[in-house]
Amino acid sequence: MMPKHYFLGFLIRSLLASGTETQAVHGSLKPRKVQFQSRNFHNVLCWQPGSSLTGNGSVYFVQYKMYGERQWKNKTDCWGTTALSCDLTNETLDLYEPYYGRVKTAWAGRYSAWSRTPRFTPWWETKLDPPVVTAIQGNASLLVLLRTPELPYRNQHGKNTSMESYYDLAYRVFITNNSLVKEQKAYEGTQRRVRIEGLTPHSSYCIAAEIYQPMLDRKSPRSERRCVKIP
């Protein structure tokens, strides 16, 4: 029989050796930049391949859970996916709850360790798209209609909800009469139907708008411009 101390030494050495070896493999296969990208409460998990993955043939496995839950759940649609993203909108429907997602890679018969997102709370983190702008010409005036981005389908409580159910929103409307002249703010407020008056007949005006979230001090990107000629 081996002397006891000799055997222990051997065991520890082999544990250390296998430990560093698997770590080297896992470290480089492990998906990078695993994070939620959220627009209008559409929550998509995104990642990049591990640093050692140069060729093709890697597949990814996705799990998620709500903060405080013990068990990770498989996202079946993204189990063995070759894509670098996975739509978890339906798995993260409670806007005020924090969630986690995680991803691992399999490549050439080897598995990486899991790579996890930071804590993700849809209400805090989702980014709003710009409003959709319609401009209707009037008599030396313009009527501007603004539509907020739509929420993803959800049958929670069967309610017909809008962004305004979740945030206090302000709208900012900008106008310019000529591309050489700097645009001006024509309106800021909570109305989604705005009349701009005192415009010069026979001139063209362009309108753009954005949404502002006062509580988060955050604004959407600018909408596309809508240009209208005043009769």
The residue (of 14 and 200) whose beta carbon lies closer to ligand NAG is 200
203 binds ligand NAG (CB under 6 A): yes
156 binds ligand NAG (CB under 6 A): no
> CB of residue 133 vs ligand NAG: minimum separation in angstroms?
18
87 binds ligand NAG (CB under 6 A): yes
The rounded distance, in Å, linking the Cα atoms of 88 and 215 is: 26
The residue (of 116 and 219) whose beta carbon lies closer to ligand NAG is 116
The rounded distance, in Å, linking the Cα atoms of 175 and 173 is: 7
> CB of residue 148 vs ligand NAG: minimum separation in angstroms?
11
Among 200, 214, 221, 229, binds ligand NAG (CB under 6 A): 200
How many Cα atoms are found within 13 Å in the side-chain-facing hemisphere of 159? 8
Is there a contact between 158 and 213 (Cβ–Cβ < 8 Å)? no
Count of beta carbons in the 10 Å neighbourhood of residue 138: 15
Element (H, E) at 58: none
Count of beta carbons in the 10 Å neighbourhood of residue 225: 16
The residue (of 55 and 109) whose beta carbon lies closer to ligand NAG is 55
What residues line the site for ligand NAG (CB under 6 A)? 55-56, 71, 73-74, 87, 89-90, 139, 153, 160, 177-178, 181, 200, 203
